[in-house]
Structure 1
Amino acid sequence: SDKSSKGSWDAPIVDVLDRLNVEEEYCTLSSCSGRAYLWRWQPEELEGMQEETEMEQATFQTYWPSKKRSAHAYSQTWRFHVCHRFGDLDLPSLSRLEDAWRVHSDIEADASESEALPDGGMLGAEDAAEGATDTEAVVAPNVIWLKYEPLVCHVACRSWLGATRLIELSRPAFPRSSLLSWKKRFVVQVIGEDHLDMPVAEVLSDGALSWFGGPRLRQFLQETILQQKFAKNLSRTELWRHSLLDGLR
């Protein structure tokens, strides 16, 4: 297993990771062959909004997560419908997405109930409602995002020469491959370019999902946009595989 949150290698790149780990120069740390998933974004409550214009601006801005928060979305507990293969993706099937959301919501609810307050008590729904201001209710939308992440692989290298060699072999397929760390050890990051981030639904007050657009939009996202993302990532991965297998002989 590796140090990724999944705890195991993805089947499409097992042979590449095995080949790297055979070399004394390299040790893979974490990896992902590429994935699409939905995740819930609920911004932290904003305070100090007095003017109506400020509230409107904040309302718009809070629909868009920060780059850091979006980049770490997969490590959060609020992700669901995670698909590492295009064949597992099913955005047009609203019932399947709703089932996944309900399971996810139940898990989140159980986790929230198990967190005790500093005084040992629990914060109930009525207490939370009393503590919230009108401004907080307006500027804290609860949005479901669709995210696609391409291949990423982190490799520890024994030497500087080994790191530069791996970068050279990886850049024909993944031009953004670079040295991520060099203080304690040389770590190379191989990462793709085919990203996607977009809001697709809002969580209503009763916990139900209100989808932006209709089934045709979800079908377009899957059969056109995401299919292209998965296909391009797979093509780049094949090029990377051939480059490494030939270059490490």
Structure 2
Amino acid sequence: MASRQQAVNNFENSKLQCLGKRDKSSAGRIDPKAVDICAVINKLEQYYTTSSCAGRCFLYRGPGVKSTNQFTRFRVSHEKICDPLRYFNLETLDNDFTGGGDPVRSVGQYDQEDHNRGTVQAEDDEILQRERYGSTSIVGMSEGDSIWLRFEPFILHVACRSLAAASALMAAARPAFKNVGLTTWKQNSRYLVAIWGDEGLDMPLSIPGASRLLIPNVDDLTFLPYWLATLVNERHERNWSKIIRFTQAVRDMKLINDDSDVEADNRFLLMTANQNASKIPRSFDVVGDIALIHNISTDDPEERKHIGDAIMQKNKAIKIVAVRESSLHGIERAPGKAGVAIIAGMQRSPLITTHCEYGIKCVVDLQHTFFSPRMGPERLRICQQVARGENVLVLFAGVCMDALQIAGRTEASTILAVDMNPIATECGTRALRMLVRNKAVKTDGAADRLRIIEGEVSQVLERLPRNFFDRVLAPRPKEGNMDGDLGSGDGGITFLRAFLPVMNQNGGECHWYDFVADHEFPECARTRSLVESVCNHQGLSMEVLHVASVGSVAMRQLRICLDFRIFPMTKEETVSL
């Protein structure tokens, strides 16, 4: 029993360390098409992802083996090829590095900060691009060189806590992906499963030393680029379809009995000799050194104290056990001073603690601010989507845990957090000072890139620059009984209209949090229609990236996050309206 408990603890520690690391890929984020499957897997206790790629195409020169010095890669794209004539124009490889594909980003651009001057020593973009993609001119290459097109399908590596868990994951993956296997394992510690697709493509585009595409025997010379784009785009579509099938299979996967016989500390039923054992809750939140019970079955002070003492006896890190006596209310969504009662442990007023999540610390006032540790997986999912160099806006930031995570774990250029609760912003400011001294933070200048503003969101938005933020976190306020599929509220339209103008109008992404009935998920047609209508009214088209379930807020009512991207409307779209 002790050895199994130790194995579970080791796996949990490895999971925290792996998921808490900075993404060192060229984009600094998980591929958008892989975010959903990674989030679904990482939400399960018995799994965590170690690496992923949603599928990509690129041009390359050399023997085709990435580990060799002769291999040079050009124009990586994780999306469909929209401009074939530009992408497959080999004569412009020297001066058009992306060709309409992924933007070129430098790795570690915030690692060389000069703290004396407070500026970042950024190299010239063109030099960075040439270093990464090669500076040798394509024209006049030595004989034997040629340009190739490659498509690499989806690949995912998942660490599993037990052999039974690994077997269940492989069974869920095989209907969509045939290449599934157990690559490495360590007895009673970790089993690594590799899943990869079979939609590969590898073909030459030019003869050695040439700077033009191989010319087919056709009259229209533009035929070849469009045909090549069709080959790539069809593989993208089949690849993405398989990822969706795999994601649904993991969601439908039954709970695995890995014979660990161990439950998480905050998901147990305490079996003690105490006569009140049956009244001890099965679940509660652990915030810092405080256990917060949301519902307790007795009002007797002695019985409550016995319950609190039993919880602290089970988890020595817990110093206080408190009960939430009232529901959340007000704009702050906080219970108030009288809304939380301490039933065991030391007396502390105000009820403040320091909570740590993936190595990042925040300060929480449980009486006057809203914070939920159950949102930890969602905060991780958001961090994994933040690309290097982005400008991020966090609205209704609360104690700023989302903003702190983005600042400490990503290489976003700027992060702005806004909240009108002065106690919440003070908690965020105190956590920001701790971020400076936090050795777990691997990105230099994390605290310098985060700014916290206290103020009413609509008024702050009026002062912000237009068309600036690449990513916006928008957890709209709940409207009480007026919310949901049967409510009469506006669904956050006023809020949505206010922040859309500050988003990057050409590809800016938003994480829109809404409330839906369980029968509406996962389509969430009402939410999609609302967001689309507001975007269209402002001359924007929107693309839904995916919809994530964040948790339950009431019986048969879910909180969801709709991730969408905006673009200017085309003339055809404007006419159709």
| TM-score normalised by the chain length of structure 2 | 0.30
Deviations 1:128-181, CA, capped at 9 Å, x for gaps: xxxxxxxxx6xx511111000111111111111111111011111112111121
Structure of greater Rg: 2
Please say if residues 150 and 203 of structure 2, whose CA atoms lie closer than 8 Å, have aligned partners that are also in contact: yes
Given the alignment of the two structures, is residue 17 of structure 1 paired with residue 19 of structure 2, yes or no? no
3-state secondary structure, aligned to 1:30? strand
Q: Corresponding residue for 1:170?
A: 173
Q: Corresponding residue for 2:29?
A: 8
Please tell me the residue identity of whatever aligns with 1:38.
Answer: L
Please say if residues 151 and 192 of structure 1, whose CA atoms lie closer than 8 Å, have aligned partners that are also in contact: yes
Instruction: Report how far residue 3 of structure 1 moved.
Output: 6.2
Deviations 1:171-205, CA, capped at 9 Å, x for gaps: 1111211112124731111111100000102463x
Q: Corresponding residue for 1:236?
A: 242
Please say if residues 153 and 197 of structure 2, whose CA atoms lie closer than 8 Å, have aligned partners that are also in contact: yes
Q: Corresponding residue for 1:82?
A: 76
Please tell me the residue identity of whatever aligns with 2:202.
Answer: D
Given the alignment of the two structures, is residue 212 of structure 1 paired with residue 214 of structure 2, yes or no? yes
Given the alignment of the two structures, is residue 195 of structure 1 paired with residue 200 of structure 2, yes or no? yes
Q: Distance in 2 between matches of 1:112 and 1:99?
A: 13
Q: Distance in 1 between matches of 2:69 and 2:174?
A: 27
Instruction: Report how far residue 241 of structure 1 moved.
Output: 1.3
Greater Cα shift, 75-84 or 163-172? 75-84
Larger RCO, structure (CA 8 Å, separation 6 or more): 1
Q: Distance in 2 between matches of 1:106 and 1:201?
A: 26
Kindly tell me the number of residue pairs found equivalent between the two proteins.
Answer: 193
Deviations 1:3-62, CA, capped at 9 Å, x for gaps: 655442111121221121122211101101111110111x5xxxxxxxxxxxxxxxxxxx
Please tell me the residue identity of whatever aligns with 1:239.
Answer: R
Q: Corresponding residue for 2:146?
A: 143
Percentage identity across paired residues of the two chains: 32
Match of 1:221 among 209, 222, 228: 228
Instruction: Report how far residue 102 of structure 1 moved.
Output: 3.6
Q: Measured at CA, do residues 95 and 165 of structure 1 come closer, stay the same or move farther in structure 2, by a change above 3 Å?
A: closer
| TM-score normalised by the chain length of structure 1 | 0.66
Please say if residues 179 and 197 of structure 2, whose CA atoms lie closer than 8 Å, have aligned partners that are also in contact: yes
Q: Distance in 1 between matches of 2:84 and 2:74?
A: 12
Please say if residues 49 and 157 of structure 2, whose CA atoms lie closer than 8 Å, have aligned partners that are also in contact: yes
Q: Corresponding residue for 1:123?
A: none
3-state secondary structure, aligned to 1:9? coil
Higher helix residue share: 1
Match of 2:52 among 31, 39, 49: 31
Q: Distance in 1 between matches of 2:60 and 2:156?
A: 22
Q: Distance in 2 between matches of 1:27 and 1:76?
A: 34
Greater Cα shift, 29-38 or 208-217? 208-217
Q: Corresponding residue for 1:91?
A: 84
Please say if residues 77 and 108 of structure 1, whose CA atoms lie closer than 8 Å, have aligned partners that are also in contact: no
Instruction: Please report the RMSD computed on the Cα atoms of aligned residues, expressed in angstroms.
Output: 3.4
Please say if residues 40 and 142 of structure 1, whose CA atoms lie closer than 8 Å, have aligned partners that are also in contact: yes
Instruction: Report how far residue 94 of structure 1 moved.
Output: 6.2
- Unaligned stretches of 5+ in structure 2? 1-21, 98-125, 135-141, 216-220, 256-577
Q: Distance in 1 between matches of 2:251 and 2:45?
A: 15
Q: Measured at CA, do residues 155 and 76 of structure 1 come closer, stay the same or move farther in structure 2, by a change above 3 Å?
A: farther
- Unaligned stretches of 5+ in structure 1? 44-64, 114-136
Instruction: Report how far residue 228 of structure 1 moved.
Output: 1.6
Please say if residues 88 and 225 of structure 2, whose CA atoms lie closer than 8 Å, have aligned partners that are also in contact: no
Instruction: Report how far residue 248 of structure 1 moved.
Output: 5.4
Given the alignment of the two structures, is residue 247 of structure 1 paired with residue 249 of structure 2, yes or no? no
Q: Corresponding residue for 1:157?
A: 160
Q: Corresponding residue for 1:51?
A: none
